[in-house]
Structure 1
Amino acid sequence: MAQGIDPQEQQRQQQEKEKASNNNTFAKITADWFAVKKSKGLTKDTLNNIWRSLEKNIFPYVEGISINNLTAQTFIQAMQPIRASGRLETVRRVTMRINEVMNYAVNAGLIQANPATKISQVFENPVVTHMPTIRPEKLPELMRTLSIANIELQTRLVIEFQLLTITRPSEAATARWDEINLIDKIWTIPAGRMKMRREHVVPLSPQSLAVLEAMKPISLHRPYVFPSFKNPLKPMNSATANMALRRMGYKNILVAHGFRSIASTTLNEKGFAPDVIEAALAHVDTNKVRSAYNRSTYLEQRKVLMDWWGEFVEQAATGKFTAAESVRRIKGESDKLSTIEFK
């Protein structure tokens, strides 16, 4: 008491501090960080992937440890099984997320410094691998294989729709009828469902519209164009196209995301303007002024591009009708789309 400090009060404060510190486990702080992360506008699939990567790879080793007791070595040891399995890309992603959590703890005033800052230097860099795809010359073979594949009609249609609209698997699989304007022939994907968090308008070619026409009897009374097989009120799983491609014999040869590469290669080789192609792929220009220009002026040019691409895909399917065309034939329609000759 000589210095005006009550030893009992000091001891009580110290105990409370230690208790709070012990309660601030890595799992708790990760949950707090994740709550903030969810407000950043990321897609549900992305958020689920982030959480699962930490829950599966890191939590078993460090979830109950107080963040005050975590060291670089703690994390490095926890990462060794992933490294040993050769999943270096997973190591890179998990390391990045660990640092986000620990930086959050620093900024929240829970720890003085992030001990995981340089742990990535211990691990090898992953080899950059591109998603499997095929050359445009192989597209007719793909369309023939698709036409005889033992898969559900709407699985064929979602594959065709993704290919024709040059969208990502998740964007095509979760397309909603209320996003589609059949009069203006455009599909407006809201920012919340786009990878780059920016609204994307897709001009719909006659071939894309044919896919939608084929889906009307199946799903027009539902929210989603391509409903889930298990629960029609939910969208089809974005992995459905990839699973179908594997069953068709394209394992390690082509994935659904590779359709975009086929289109990009074809359109570039045909001589379409690179900026228009990038706009069609929904790639974001880092130049804000140019990005705004792209949005405001490239729509008309992209309509021409998408119509050309739709006819190119249809020609690739010559002799083996697309699923949409097959449905129209069954319905007795005679307005068959014309085929053009490319030089």
Structure 2
Amino acid sequence: MKLTDRTIKALRPKDHAYKKADGKGLTLLVNADGGKHWRFRYRFHGREKMLSLGSFPDVSLSLARQKRDEMRRVLALGLDPSVERKKERLRAAFASSDTFEQMASAYIAKRQAEGAAPRTLKKQKTFLGALRADIGAIPISALTSEQLLAALQKHETRGKRTLANEARAFASRVLQLAIAQGRASRNVADDLRGALIAPLPGGHAAITCPKELGRLLACIRAYEGETVTSLCLEILAHVFVRPSELREARWDEFDLEKGLWRIPAIRTKLRREHIVPLSPQVIRLLKELRRHTGNQAFIAASSVKPDQPISDMTFNKALRSLGFDRRHHVAHGFRRTASTLLNEQGYNRDWIERQLAHVERNKVRGAYNAAEYLDGRRRMMCEWSSYLGELLDEAQKAKRKQ
């Protein structure tokens, strides 16, 4: 006889547990303590098995029958309901533990294992930090485009458009990894392409007026802060490498006799060795710098922690103290300064691009020669240093006349 809500409520405990059948494998177990628990009994490959479907009244009679019918449909497909339930629980546990923050951390660890540059890893950690509070705890499989957009727009409304756009791209890469690992089915970050306000145009702030450049060089020469900082800034103006490449440079990378600096692939953006010809002026500056840090591994060794390079904010802090804020000129801007003025002076564009370590993508993937155009680049770099010297002299003379 099938059960009813009235008969179930009327069941009283006995000295021992007993069962009441509802049909099609569904039974109600009444324990001696009065607890009433639903059970589904079935046979799979000749073996009798049992599944718990919850307790009455939390699971009503109608809901227990629905669960029984679901289990019978699984059986009809030739599957074991007990095994399928375990799989579902594992999938649910897997999904709940795979939060955005955990997947993002896994992505960053992957990039580190692949040899990504420290500055790249630092930027990715910044993007994770920008998203952590809003979506860090959300399961990666449950993240929606609306949730991600709201997190990004918080930065956008604060005027941090570049951060918002780059954080979206970072989230897209994290989700792509999650999809590849079967932890997400959709890249909601890609749905947001074009949804954010584009960053303001323009690259790193840079002085491109020769007279202003001369004034900047004179200010750097007169800098009253750390000598290592002023020497490195002056060197940076001459060699126009990426600031991190100079800041993290080691003395064993330099051959002052041959006038060459070989930046190892591990420290370059494109993971290719980059050769920098050193002018006589730069060699003199390096020899002066060696008097201060020659006993350390890094040419820009920190005075506080000599076994480490100076902070990545040191150069720009020094420039700000000299009156050049981020809207006027930043350390990375020396690259744009050199590119603009060298092109205006008619130097071979291939020499300039190669010296900036700008390499066509097909060359990155294929044949690559670190010494490409080296003779021409050496002449250009020597003439560039002489040009900077002239600008510096003019600026210092103008200042003395004031």
Q: Same fold (TM over 0.5)?
A: yes
Q: Secondary structure at the match of 2:275?
A: strand
Please list, as runs of the form range in 1=range in 2, the aligned pairs for 1:179-194 lying within 5 A after superposition. Answer: 179-194=253-268
Determine the C-alpha separation between the residues in 2 that align with 1:240 and 1:154.
10
Determine the C-alpha separation between the residues in 2 that align with 1:237 and 1:289.
30
1:158 aligns with 2:232: yes
**Cα gap change, 1:185 to 1:35, in 2 (>3 Å):** same
| Cα shift at 1:297 | 4.0
State the TM-score, normalized to the length of structure 2.
0.75
CA RMSD after TM alignment = 2.2
Say which is worse superposed, 156-165 or 260-269, in terms of deviation: 260-269
Structure with the bigger percentage of strand: 2
Partner deviation per Cα, 1:157-189 (whole Å, 9 max, x = no partner): 001111111211111112211000122110000
The unaligned stretches of length 5 or more in structure 2 are 1-41, 44-74, 397-402
Q: Secondary structure at the match of 1:118?
A: helix
| Cα shift at 1:260 | 1.7
1:266 aligns with 2:346: no
Match of 2:84 in 1: 10
Determine the C-alpha separation between the residues in 2 that align with 1:89 and 1:319.
38
Name which of 66, 69, 77 aligns with 2:139: 66
Match of 1:312 in 2: 387
| Cα shift at 1:148 | 2.4
Partner deviation per Cα, 1:84-103 (whole Å, 9 max, x = no partner): 11211111101111111111
**Cα gap change, 1:142 to 1:116, in 2 (>3 Å):** closer
1:127 aligns with 2:200: yes
Partner deviation per Cα, 1:168-219 (whole Å, 9 max, x = no partner): 1111112211000122110000111112221111111000000111012211
Aligned-partner residue type, residue 171 of structure 2:
I
Q: Is the CA contact (8 Å cut-off) linking 1:136 and 1:262 kept in structure 2?
A: no
**Cα gap change, 1:224 to 1:288, in 2 (>3 Å):** same
**Cα gap change, 1:17 to 1:260, in 2 (>3 Å):** closer
| Cα shift at 1:130 | 2.3
Partner deviation per Cα, 1:262-304 (whole Å, 9 max, x = no partner): 2222222222111111111111123429985764441011111
Say which is worse superposed, 11-20 or 255-264, in terms of deviation: 11-20
Match of 1:101 in 2: 174
Name which of 208, 225, 231 aligns with 2:305: 231
Aligned-partner residue type, residue 152 of structure 1:
E
Aligned-partner residue type, residue 36 of structure 1:
K
1:48 aligns with 2:119: no
Match of 1:208 in 2: 282
Q: Secondary structure at the match of 2:357?
A: coil
| Cα shift at 1:11 | 2.8
Match of 2:223 in 1: 149
Q: Is the CA contact (8 Å cut-off) linking 1:190 and 1:198 kept in structure 2?
A: yes
Q: Is the CA contact (8 Å cut-off) linking 1:140 and 1:316 kept in structure 2?
A: yes
Match of 2:50 in 1: none
Partner deviation per Cα, 1:25-80 (whole Å, 9 max, x = no partner): 2122222222212233321121011112212x211112222222211112112222
**Cα gap change, 1:104 to 1:175, in 2 (>3 Å):** same
Match of 2:34 in 1: none
Determine the C-alpha separation between the residues in 2 that align with 1:142 and 1:64.
47
Aligned-partner residue type, residue 269 of structure 1:
E
Determine the C-alpha separation between the residues in 2 that align with 1:260 and 1:225.
20
Match of 2:104 in 1: 30
1:90 aligns with 2:163: yes
Q: Is the CA contact (8 Å cut-off) linking 1:131 and 1:257 kept in structure 2?
A: yes
Q: Secondary structure at the match of 1:121?
A: coil
Determine the C-alpha separation between the residues in 2 that align with 1:307 and 1:54.
43
Match of 1:254 in 2: 329
Q: Is the CA contact (8 Å cut-off) linking 1:177 and 1:223 kept in structure 2?
A: yes
Identity value in percent: 31
Say which is worse superposed, 46-55 or 288-297, in terms of deviation: 288-297
| Cα shift at 1:319 | 6.9
Q: Secondary structure at the match of 2:185?
A: coil
Aligned-partner residue type, residue 348 of structure 2:
A
Match of 2:358 in 1: 283
Q: How many residues align?
A: 320
Say which is worse superposed, 192-201 or 136-145, in terms of deviation: 136-145
Determine the C-alpha separation between the residues in 1 that align with 2:96 and 2:147.
17
Structure having the higher Rg: 2
Match of 1:339 in 2: none
Structure with the larger RCO, 1 or 2 (CA within 8 Å, 6+ apart): 1
The unaligned stretches of length 5 or more in structure 1 are 322-343
